[in-house]
Amino acid sequence: MTDSNIGNDPKHQRIALLAITRAGILLAARLTAALPGSRLFAPQAFRELLQQQAADAAYCYPGPTRAQMAGLFADFDGLIAVCSLGILVRLIAPHLQSKYRDPAVVVLDEAGRFAIPVLSGHLGGANALAAELARILGATPVLTTASDVRQTLAVDLLGRELGWSLDASPTALLRASAAMVNQAPVALVQESGSADWWRNHANGRNGPLPENLHCFETANTLDPGRFQALLWISQRPPPRTLAAHFVDTLVHYRPQLGSAANRGGKARSKRLALGLGCDRGTPVDTLDRVVAEALQAVAAEHTQVQAVASIDLKADEAGLAELAARHGWKIRFYSAAELDRIEVPNPSDKVRQYTGTASVSEAAALLASGRDDGCLLIEKHKLRDAGGKHATVSIARMIDD
């Protein structure tokens, strides 16, 4: 057991338990055994009890508990307090910053009957922590967040358990969440990632999708005027017109490329065009791998590839020829001038220096697809193999798909 100010505690100890009474310490000591790496903090007056109950995980602090709260907030991702809700509110009030920075805070009664998330229920994980405490203690989790009470989609948790990243302004996240829980019409466009995101949704959801959530596989059939928010699941950003329409209600989710958790979804597009770029001498297996990862990200199969293209500088690239033969594809090679006329999301001066065009893979995919709107399902997926060779693939939907 250590005598310590909480602010100096090692930061790798991410869950803190705070108890200020004898009964609270007894309950918290049980939890330290069930939560590996957690630490129990209590006043120095209970030093002997702490030594008996949780010597290896206990820290005594001198002085008032309120003086320790800044350290708890700074050094831990989660705080479990065994005390009354009122006491906890007074202790944490001076240290609140925002839902994006505050730790998860859960309060437990001394009998271990109720676990109440107090702060950062979704983004910080307090709801999930309360559920875990309920499982350990046989307690009742008391969830008050609207999406959990109504068993609807939690916009800020969508895809988290699948490793998806989320990009949205605080205003957009707030307004999209409000639209969801208020049962306003919300559009969801999914171009990539697992189709099982609802079944894997954090906190567990069962039954049909919410009635106010309208799902699309493409934005082509989406009428923006019908919806109050847009949830966009894709490797690429939404078209500019859509982004402008939903400027304060757009949430963009990016599924993780190459993740096993994103396999098994239904195909999001029937006919695809690939644009390829690579270093000279890139092995066919490296090219095959980068293509497979990109196709997986959009839940597509090799058989859905209808067009493959690159720059004519690569017309004699052995790896590309072997890749085409392996999958029964024909590769079209465009000149630098043809590629350079295409507007792409990620032009590169370095690429232009070596090839004469600001883009190879993105421009080739768009040219091969027949599209002139710059819309790519995968903008640039890059891979560097063990031998240092680089390969890049971009994916576009065929214009007539």
Q: What is the greatest pairwise CA distance in the chain?
A: 80
Q: Categorize the per-residue pLDDT at 263 as very low, low, confident or very high, splitting at 50, 70 and 90.
A: very low
Q: How far is CA 198 from CA 49, 216, 317, in A?
A: 46, 15, 43
Which one is predicted more confidently, 203 or 38? 38
Q: What is the mean pLDDT of residues 273-287?
A: 96
pLDDT of 249 reads 95
CATH number of 272-397: 3.30.420.180
pLDDT of 57 reads 77
Decide if 375 contacts 344 (C-beta within 8 A): no
For residue 89, the surrounding DSSP H or E stretch is helix 85-92
pLDDT of 204 reads 52
Q: CATH classification of 2-144 is 3.40.50.11220, yes or no?
A: yes
For residues 38 and 77, give the distance between their C-alpha atoms in angstroms, rounded to a whole number.
11
Which one is predicted more confidently, 326 or 240? 326
Which one is predicted more confidently, 101 or 374? 101
Q: What is the mean pLDDT of residues 349-354?
A: 93
Ranges 168-172, 295-299, 309-313: which has the least confidence: 295-299
Ranges 259-268, 330-339, 346-355, 359-368: which has the least confidence: 259-268
For residues 87 and 70, give the distance between their C-alpha atoms in angstroms, rounded to a whole number.
16
Residue 1 has pLDDT above 90, yes or no: no
Residue 250 makes CB contacts below 8 A (sequence gap 6+) with: 168, 172, 176, 229, 230, 232, 238, 242, 243
Q: Categorize the per-residue pLDDT at 97 as very low, low, confident or very high, splitting at 50, 70 and 90.
A: confident
User: How does the average pLDDT of the chain come out, rounded?
Assistant: 86
Structure tokens at 102: 């505050």
Q: How many residues does the chain have?
A: 401
Q: Categorize the per-residue pLDDT at 101 as very low, low, confident or very high, splitting at 50, 70 and 90.
A: confident
Q: How far is CA 133 from CA 28, 113, 166, 204, 350, in A?
A: 11, 10, 27, 16, 53
Decide if 65 contacts 43 (C-beta within 8 A): yes
Which one is predicted more confidently, 239 or 2? 239
Q: Categorize the per-residue pLDDT at 252 as very low, low, confident or very high, splitting at 50, 70 and 90.
A: very high
Express each pLDDT in 47-89 by its tens digit: 888 888 876 778 888 889 999 999 999 889 999 999 999 999 9
Q: What is the mean pLDDT of residues 262-290?
A: 81
The residue extents of the domains of the chain are 2-144, 155-262, 272-397
